[in-house]
Structure 1
Amino acid sequence: MKKLKFIYTLWLALPLVAVISGCQKQLERINQNPNEPSIVQPDYLLSNGIKANVDTYWGNEASMEAALLYVQYWSKIQYTDPDRYIPAAANIQTVWSNFYAQGIEDFTTLVQLGDSLPNPNYKAVGLIMRAWLFQNVTDLFGSVPYSQAANIRQYLTPKYDEQKDIYTGILAELKTAAQLIDETGNPIQGDILLAGNMRLWKKFANSLRLRIAIRIADKLPEVSKAVFAEVGADAALLVADNKENIQLNYKASPNQNPVGRNRETRNDYRISKTIIDKLKALNDPRLTIYADKAKDTSVHDLIGVTNGLPVDSAARLGFDRTSDIGTVFKTSDAPAVLFSYAELLFIQAEAAQRGWLSGNAATYYNQAITASLKQYGITDSLVTKYLAQPAVVYNATNYKQSIGDQKWLALFGNGLEAFAEWRRLDYPQLKPAYSGVLQGKIPLRLTYPSTEQAVNRENYKTAVATQGADVLTTKLWFDAF
């Protein structure tokens, strides 16, 4: 009897659902504004997507409160929980929501619009930016929604794809994007990143392919080798000098750099003692660029702060007697670098060492360091002196240490990429936070946001069962050693 009642009630409800659905569609037709376009403009999607997602990438939740602390570029002198590996749940949720709702959704729409527009460059740029976002999302979390993401009408609760499939998928998408680009075609509008320079967009796509190829080098070497064979040595297809660094050039408020915006109201970050000590040990001329002098003039040195101090210990150091990051990184118009020429050269050095590129690994390595130093205006004489130091000279027998240490120095400020490469190369060898809560370990990922456990629980559980426990210390697939 109860079963019959349930079926009867269900069937009674179905017409009501149909009525509600019909009313909703009717209201949608009535409420359309004839004076406003019903189709989103591609230029708006592009400019909004770039700004919102570079802000997230370079900003507070993903970078300042997580990656920059984990790789010990920055430290905290106040509110030290994130530096002790106690992330705020709201921050993790913001990273996930922003990248998906403000990025992957926008760029997927741009890709779809591109199929109906007479200009294929919109689709190409949408594919490139979406691939860049997926790379960052999987770098941070591991298995994430990919193949069913941004299609909420069909997949209300998308499955989680394994990291291997995400990397190989975006490699294919980037190749497609590079092939789609028409350098002599109609210009695109709304491009606040590369000002419509389609040759540079193609170089960005191919350079990203090399980044991902080296990321998976220890797990899928044959796939990586094939990518380098195709585009790895062709300078015409890749970022070619510091002038071609892929970066968003910020402006004055309200379009200022997120770090500059942060410093308008906060003063709880400092440069890490770890990187200060490394720069000093190498007589590195970037020292006074990466760090500012303490405001207290009685302090005659650049003073970094140990990562993960308890609140009371950090407070006793004093705001004015410790060094903040360098001014060049915290001005309102400081650029947010997405991909640099120095990074490309480090990638090529490693590929040459692995036998995937012709040329000398040490030469690429020296060129990479030179590019990083020249990026900050270091003179040629200082570059030569720096490269000649025994501690800097390339060591082919332990190339991961040479490349890992110097790539870490070169990526300063770019916390998410540095965090991924530190995990992959295992250099520099960082000590865990002084009072970290992970039993002497450093985070290897971000945990999934709690909303996923609530609204996408079955797919979340499947991902965790495959990948490992949903904790900060679970090693991701690309991190082979």
Structure 2
Amino acid sequence: MLKKISYITLFALLLGSCSDKLDEINKNPNATETPLAPYLLTGTLKQGADLYWGADNNFNSSLLFVQHWAKIQYTEPDRFDVSNTTFTSLWNNGYYTLVTDLNTIINFPEQQANSNYKGIALTLRSWTFLLLTDAYGSIPYKEAGQKITPAYDTQEVVYTGLLEDLKQAQSLLATTNGTVTGDLVYKGDVLKWKKLVNSLRLRIALRISDKKPDLAKQAAIEATSDAGGLISANTDNFQFIYTSSPQQNPAAAWFETRDDFRISKTLVDKLKAFSDPRLPVYAQLPSDATVGTYVGGGNGLSNSAANDQGFAKTSKPGTYFLTSATPAVFATFAEVQFNLAEAVARGFIAGDAEQLYKGAITASLNQFGITNAATVATYLSQPSIQYNPANYAESIGTQKWIAFYGQGLDAFTEWRRLDYPVLTAGPNALLDGQIPSRFFYPGTEQSLNGDSYQAAVGAQGKDLLTTKLWFDVK
């Protein structure tokens, strides 16, 4: 009996020992048990830049929709021959990486993240949610990161909620609230983050301006009168600076091994018509020297028709956009000036819309290295460039479309909102002459969050590329 008890005791000890070792085996030796705010901030900035500037959401989708770029081979996305697996990266990385990591910073105790970290994280989370709702429409917002199957909120609820979130972010940011490291955009300059916050508030004010003009006016007034100011120079631009491989700009990395994009004929023709000095920046001359001029590729062509244009006879995007260190640009002085011009034109704030419009164009030209005063003045003096107060949407919309070159997601949103320039779908496009108005929801939402997905689609409209979103009134 004593021998039996000894065996049982030994077995229990061995089992306990194995259990302890199993716990150790299941630990990831590379995992950070206590995540640090600076590293999370650095990671979200880099991942956000890749998400915004990369192929899936930019040059293989939204840049094609707005006819900044065109495909010269593998033309399916340029013909809108896509599925609900095409637009998953913005959703998955937006929620499961960016929002998750930013929520971690926001929820840190004070000893792990001072209020400046929290204000920056709330700003970046707002920017992420803005990208998501602009692309898809109704999205999980209030319950995002809180529930496994979060409910979707309408675009109206998301926009108005983000205005409040950005107010809170502004209240958290102050030069006296501690230092910030890990900031690869503004190097811990809290005053520049405060300018970005107000600039995003102004952006959202115009997003809602056709549906909720009273709230839009209030938001515009608050954003422009806040002591933090707005982005007021190209040195304030919200952009991520890449370096060299493997930390290079995604477009540069793409063109190292592939050659399936050209600048769009639509944009080249418009820049030529305007004698626009940005053309040599936006495009390269064809490699066939006998061509001798910039030639854009047609959008929405069949693979054979696209190939027939000639790889050597058409213009690649400019080398400025295809170098390793090209920045991923998210928000600019030019955009803020355009937004101020529109806010004045709508009667939301006081000011001179024409001067702001000219200032926006000048800021864009300067952003791309065109700083000669005579060149700028000559461009602005052309009748085709003059501000038209009777149709501010056409003047601002067309020039903003040009200035947003490379910023596909925001160019796509502003083109849908302002309806200028007038674009025509390519001859082999699949949507009966229409250009997409949104991204598909990822197919996984139907299987993993089906009830919320069905409720959102029932309220917003069918999960189609052509379903117009709440802000898009025309």
TM range (shorter): over 0.9
Task: Please point out which of 307, 311, 322 is paired with 1:319.
Answer: 311
How far apart, in 2, do the equivalents of 1:165 and 1:257 lie? 34
SS in 1 for 2:220: helix
Task: Please point out which of 390, 396, 403 is paired with 1:410.
Answer: 403
How far apart, in 2, do the equivalents of 1:327 and 1:475 lie? 35
The residue aligned with 1:401 is 394
How far apart, in 2, do the equivalents of 1:97 and 1:327 lie? 31
CA contact (8 A) 1:108 1:126 kept: yes
TM-score, normalised by the number of residues in structure 1: 0.91
SS in 2 for 1:264: helix
- Aligned 1:29-428 pairs, distance under 5 A: 31=26, 38-113=33-108, 117=112, 119-151=114-146, 155-232=147-224, 237-378=229-370, 379-428=372-421
Task: Please point out which of 410, 423, 443 is paired with 1:430.
Answer: 423
CA contact (8 A) 2:85 2:443 kept: no
Distance 1:374 1:37, change over 3 A: closer
The residue aligned with 1:470 is 463
Show structure 2 runs of 5+ residues with no match: 1-17
Distance 1:302 1:118, change over 3 A: closer
CA contact (8 A) 1:70 1:443 kept: yes
Partner AA of 1:333 in structure 2: A
Distance 1:388 1:289, change over 3 A: same
CA contact (8 A) 1:115 1:123 kept: no
Q: Residue by residue, what CA displacement relative to the aligned partner does 1:305-335 show, whole Å, maximum 9, x if unpaired?
A: 1101100111111211110011101100001
TM-score, normalised by the number of residues in structure 2: 0.93
How far apart, in 1, do the equivalents of 2:30 and 2:432 lie? 61
The residue aligned with 1:16 is none
CA contact (8 A) 1:53 1:102 kept: no
CA contact (8 A) 2:194 2:228 kept: no
How far apart, in 1, do the equivalents of 2:28 and 2:257 lie? 40
Partner AA of 2:461 in structure 1: G
Distance 1:173 1:285, change over 3 A: same
Identity, % of aligned positions: 46
Distance 1:35 1:319, change over 3 A: closer
* C-alpha deviation, 1:231, in angstroms: 2.5
* C-alpha deviation, 1:182, in angstroms: 2.0
Partner AA of 1:104 in structure 2: V
How far apart, in 1, do the equivalents of 2:325 and 2:338 lie? 27
How far apart, in 1, do the equivalents of 2:19 and 2:336 lie? 52
* C-alpha deviation, 1:114, in angstroms: 5.4
Show structure 1 runs of 5+ residues with no match: 1-22
Q: Which runs of 4+ in 1 moved over 4 A?
A: 23-37, 233-236
How far apart, in 1, do the equivalents of 2:138 and 2:234 lie? 33
How far apart, in 1, do the equivalents of 2:324 and 2:28 lie? 38
* C-alpha deviation, 1:374, in angstroms: 1.3
SS in 2 for 1:337: strand
Corresponding residue pairs, total = 456
Distance 1:171 1:340, change over 3 A: same
Query: CA RMSD of the aligned region, Å?
Result: 2.0
Partner AA of 1:421 in structure 2: E
Partner AA of 1:472 in structure 2: L
Q: Residue by residue, what CA displacement relative to the aligned partner does 1:357-383 show, whole Å, maximum 9, x if unpaired?
A: 111111110110111111122211011
